[in-house]
């Protein structure tokens, strides 16, 4: 992605800069997550188009999904756990588990030489991610959080989330996915 390209989501340099900003300067966690969802949607579209280096595109997609899921599970979900979000958050970690299982399978494939199987799994994981990100988080969870959390709380959470995400995404987190497929991530009590 070009460093000046904002349409696809958060640029890597921008994410790093955001982690160092003050509360009043930082973007809302819900905006951060929505922009990351859009960036992943764009990567799916690029992979489906068959253009470009599919191996590199898939590595980027898998790293962003893995870093996003881990940051949600360790920072975002625990911070937003409350009675009215508990069921959605438990469903979310189960959805993450299902996504990780398909990603783990895909990591064993070559996007070009195993094209038919890879593309079938890409279609499945795209549908899973789309449902989770857009229907569950953006349409159901985020409206609850907009009412339950102040702008300052959401900004503080964005800073914490981005600090973890930026660290993880640089470490090729896709390599951890196969070891995260036995059970859903734990959550604190709601």
Along the 190 residues of the chain, how does pLDDT read in single tens digits?
333 333 333 333 334 444 444 544 668 999 999 999 999 999 999 999 988 999 999 999 999 999 999 999 999 999 999 999 999 999 999 999 999 999 999 999 999 999 999 999 999 999 999 999 999 999 999 999 999 999 999 999 999 999 999 999 999 999 999 999 999 999 999 8
How many CB atoms neighbour CB 13 within 10 A? Answer: 9
pLDDT at residue number 190? 81
Q: Are 31 and 6 in contact (CB under 8 A)?
A: no
> Which pLDDT score, from 0 to 100, does residue 64 have?
98
Length reported for the chain: 190
Alpha-carbon gap, residue 147 to 142, rounded angstroms: 9
pLDDT of residue 26: 60
Q: What is the pLDDT of residue 25?
A: 62
Tokens of 48: 């489906």
- Helices 115-130 and 29-49, interaxial angle, to 10°? 160
Cβ-contact 177, 39 below 8 angstroms: no
* Of the candidates 61, 124, 100, the residue with the CA atom closest to the CA atom of residue 184: 100
User: Are the beta carbons of 47 and 41 closer than 8 angstroms?
Assistant: no
pTM for the whole structure: 0.87
d(CA 116, CA 101): 18
Instruction: Output DSSP code: residue 105.
Output: H
3-class secondary structure, 23 = coil
Distance in angstroms (rounded) separating the CA atoms of residues 37 and 3: 18
């Amino acid at each position: 992605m070009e460093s000046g390209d904002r349409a696809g989501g958060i640029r890597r340099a921008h994410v790093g800069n955001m982690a160092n900003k003050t509360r009043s300067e930082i973007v809302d966690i819900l905006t951060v997550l929505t922009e990351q969802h859009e960036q992943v949607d764009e990567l799916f579209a690029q992979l489906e188009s068959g253009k470009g280096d599919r191996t590199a595109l898939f590595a980027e997609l898998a790293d962003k999904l893995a870093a996003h899921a881990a940051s949600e599970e360790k920072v975002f979900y625990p911070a937003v756990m409350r009675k009215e979000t508990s069921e959605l958050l438990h469903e979310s970690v189960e959805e993450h588990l299902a996504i990780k299982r398909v990603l783990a399978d895909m990591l064993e494939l070559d996007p070009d030489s195993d094209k038919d199987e890879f593309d079938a799994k890409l279609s499945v994981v795209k549908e899973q991610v789309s449902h989770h990100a857009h229907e569950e988080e953006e349409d159901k969870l985020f409206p609850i959080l907009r009412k339950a959390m102040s702008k300052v709380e959401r900004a503080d959470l964005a800073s914490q989330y981005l600090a973890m995400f930026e660290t993880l995404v640089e470490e090729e987190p896709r390599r951890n996915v196969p070891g995260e497929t036995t059970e859903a991530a734990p959550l604190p009590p709601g």
